[in-house]
Structures are given as C-alpha cells and as structure tokens.
Structure 1
Amino acid sequence: MDDGGARGDQYDDESEDYVAYWQGRDYEHAAELAAVTRLIGDSRYGLVCEVGGGFGRLSPVLKEYADRVMMFDPSAKHVAIAGRLLADRPGITAHHMRPGHLPLDDGSADLVSMIRVMHHLPDPGPTLREIARVLKPGGRALIEVANSAHMLNKLRYAKRLRGIPRAPVDIRSAEKAAEGGIPFVNHHPDTVVRQFAEAGLRVEDKLSVSNMRSGRLKRSVGEDRLLAVEQRIQGPLAALNFGPSLFFLLRRNG
C-alpha cells in the first residue's frame, strides 16, 4: 500500500530531538490533553492504537481510557525512547511501524489516535484508509489536523484578496522545501473532512485547539489563565475553524 509520501527515518537523525521540542510547550501540551479528554469523555476502550505516538507523550493519558495502548511510530529512535519512558506503565507497549502500514489485523482496534502526524502527510489518504482498516466497525478515531484555514490565515489571505488553498500548504521556507527532509504541511478542513469520508470515517465532533498560542500572551496573561480560557472556547470556536490545530472525533462506518 502507498504510504502517502510519509517517511519515518528522518526522526532517527541525531539532529532531531522531539523530546527537547516539547520543552517549554506546556500550554500546547495541556491544550491537547484538554481536547483529548473532552472528546473521549466517559468512553472506555479495549485496545487503543496510537499512530505516530513519538516518544509516548500522550500514551499514559490514553491508557486512562483503555485496557491496552499500542503505540506505533516509524522512527526506531522514538520507539526506543518510548520503551524506556513507558517501561513502568503496565498496559502500554511501543512498536515500530512502516509509514502507512499498521501491523494489526482488520477490525482489531476500538480507538485509533493520530495526533501531530497529519502535518507530515501531504497525501493522508492511504494512512486514513489504514486507520479505517484496523478499526472495528463502529470504532472511533481521534485525529488532529494542522489547520490551514485558521483565523490568522484567513485574514492574511483576505488582505491579498485570495482564498485559502484547498490543497495542502507546505509551510516550510522555499530553501527548506528544496532540501527535502521532513514534510510539513497544513490541511484545509473541508478537504480533510472529504478525505475522512472517502476512507469510511464520519465526523462526530470537532474542537479548535491551541487557540491562545502566543508567546506574548503566555508572558503577559500567564499559562494558567490562558488554559482556563482555552478549555472554554475549544468547542464554540470549532465551527469557525479558528485555531491552528483541529481535533476530530470520527467513527468508522459499518
């Protein structure tokens, strides 16, 4: 199966340090935790499959709602780090995967989570179909999308009298894009919803996340106050596709 152009070995490079990347991003981490817990709600799952889980940042949270969490990542380095960090967490295991290929049987997972992965997938279709394949009929997926139609972008494009592209937008500099490396694209939510449907996944709920992400606000208002506001506005702002990150709760058809 096509992997949609995704790669995983790029994060095995010594210059890439995803653990260090999250240092100083407490607000973003907490905003994502708030979205995950709100969308899961009171549900309880048998097997949760976490796609592109990195070093296992969200695995312990998902385990609170599941009997088992199987975290998969295409980076061997990430899997090794996750194995060490999660060694004392019963019911959580870390596994290597090929991009676009989950080593699970058809219909074996109750919930599939994929957060901070779509921005590395210029063509997410193959990965979405793989998620649908491993989900049980009626199973759910929790997918985060880097949003090209966020409010600041809408203003930028409006000033230029242009509409926001429906195709993925590469947000790297021209020089970085020419060098290759890890893809980094933002997706239009309307396009993504169509791609979900084509994969057999229908949207049940959506949240707008990291709406107050600003270094200036963090310093002047304080992260605790920002997070209190963030939790109240994630739902209402979802209809506007306001924030830079959208969290979708989906259900597999059938």
Structure 2
Amino acid sequence: MGLQRVDYDRTQHAGYAKGRRLLPSSRRSWTRAFRALAGDRPIRRVLDVGSGTGRFTPVLADAFGTQVVGVEPAARMREIAHAESAHPLVTYADGSAADLPLDDATADLALMFLVWHHVPDRPAAARELARVLAPGARLLIATTLADRLKDLLLYRYFPRTRDIDVDVFPTLAETDAVFAAAGFARAALVEVHHRSADSLAEYTERQRMRALSVYEHLTDEEYRAGLAAMEADAAAETTPQPVEAECDLLAYTRR
C-alpha cells in the first residue's frame, strides 16, 4: 500500500494527550504487566522509546521507583510531555529508536508502546536497543501484530482501518526475527486487558480528536462517515458499555 509516515509534529500532537488519555483501570493493568515481565535484574534505569506526550513515562517511574528517560523524536510531542507529564524521576530527550541518547549497557528495562510500527529501520533500531540495554535486561513491546489482530470496535465503524493495520504492523514471526538477529530472545507474549473508554459516548468523544495515527491514512469522507455512525450509536446508548480489548505485549531478553 505504501502508506505515508505519520508526522506527529504536523498533526497528531494536537489531540493526542486527551484522545489517548489512560484510564485508571488500564494504568493498573499495564503496571501489573510491566512489573511481571521486567525480569529478575535490578531496575535502575528505564527507557521509554517513542514516549510521545508522556502517556506511559510517569507510569514506569511510579511502577519501578527509578529514573526513566522518555525518548521522542517529535518536538511538539515532547513539549506537551514536559508540560503535562512531568515527574521528578522522568527526563524527556530528543532521539529515536535507531539513535538513543544513552551510553552502552546503561538501561535495565525498555518499553516501546505502540511505537514499533512507526520505526522506519527496524533492524537498526533493534541493534540500537541491544546497545543501550544491559545483558539480561528486558525489552517490552506493546504492539498490534498483523497475524494476531483483535476484534476492535474501531474496525466496525472504520472498516478500512483493519486493512491498514495488516499493512502497517509486522507479524509475530517478522518481529521475532528482527530481534533475534540483534541478540534478543523472546521471553513472553501476553495479552493485557485495556479499557479505552467507559462508554461508547466517551469513546466517540475521543475519536473526534483524531488521536489515532490510523486516521491519517483514511480519507476525510471515510472518517466523517465512520464518526457519524458512531455518534448515532452513542446517542442511542441507554446503558453505558465500556470499550475494551486485549492487547499484545511482547517481552524480549537482551542476551
């Protein structure tokens, strides 16, 4: 399909923090998962790669009680992170998955949350992650996998987003192969229960902010039609139903 890369400095930064706000229940679910998969080594420094507006960076600081470095290439996203996701243990820095501002073997845990599909040179990024992670350290990747798509509510209202996800996201085998070549071994693959909204009305309000990068690949007509159908169903909702899904979380160990 040859989809154009999403420019977070141009569009996505504007509504991202509000549109992707983490609910307390989801924060707890992800915190439990991160702790369970962090491995046995002491965690002295955590790296949040593609930290965006800092949605998960303070979560990591609270979960592990240690220094967290959020690395984000989009200046506008970092500006919002500094303003809205400040934390005494968190530092935000310019950089990318293939160019991390850390010395060799100085991180004990790294997270990439819905970032891997945005990385243009995945083998280079895997090698760079192997460089900054200490031997035995864990890399956690929350991602959609093209061969493990979930039954997302989004696909019902915006049908082409499913085809886009198949095109954009790698398969599990492709992901394993890239990290194996860089010196990682897969330690786990689990599903984490994530609640996006407490009702369809709340979910619809979030979609009005166009905070999902997949919307950048839809036409305005596709987006408006899907949103109109969602708004109609939200208006007819008498008993609020949460919008939830099971999300894949991979754990790799740096050999």
TM-score normalised over the length of structure 2: 0.66
Q: Deviations over 1:27-66 (max 9, x none)?
A: 7666544432432388641011110011111112211314
Letter in 1 for 2:164: I
Q: Could you report, residue by residue, the CA deviation over 1:184-206 in whole angstroms, capped at 9, with x for unpaired residues?
A: 71121122112111111111122
Alignment of 1:45 onto 2:22: no
Q: Is structure 2 residue 81 aligned with structure 1 residue 79?
A: no
Residue in 1 that maps onto 2:208: none
Partners of 2:93 and 2:111 in 1: CA distance: 15
Corresponding residue number in structure 2 for 1:187: 170
1:247 maps to 249
**Matched residues in 2 for 1:24 and 1:90: separation?**
20
Secondary structure, counterpart of 2:33 in structure 1: helix
4+ residue runs over 4 A deviation: 23-31, 41-44, 210-216, 218-222
Give the length in aligned residue pairs. Answer: 204
Secondary structure of the corresponding residue to residue 143 of structure 2 = strand
What is the Cα deviation at residue 71 of structure 1?
0.6
2:97–2:129 contact (8 Å) kept in structure 1 = no
SS of the counterpart of 2:34? helix
2:190 aligns with 207
Structure 1 vs Structure 2 CA RMSD:
3.6
Name the CA shift for 1:185/1:90 in 2 (closer, same or farther; >3 Å): same
Query: C-alpha distance in 2, partners of 1:86/1:15?
Result: 17
Q: Which residue of 2 aligns with 1:62?
A: 60
Q: State how far apart, in whole Å, the 1-side matches of 2:83 and 2:69 are.
A: 15
Residue 114 of structure 1: SS of its match in structure 2?
strand
User: Do 2:22 and 2:196's aligned partners in 1 also have CA atoms closer than 8 Å?
Assistant: no
* TM-score relative to the length of structure 1: 0.66
Would the aligned equivalents of 2:111 and 2:139 in 1 still touch at CA under 8 Å? yes
- State, as a whole percentage, how many aligned pairs show the same letter: 29
Question: 1:177 aligns to what?
Answer: none
Q: Which runs of 5+ in 2 are unaligned?
A: 152-161, 204-236
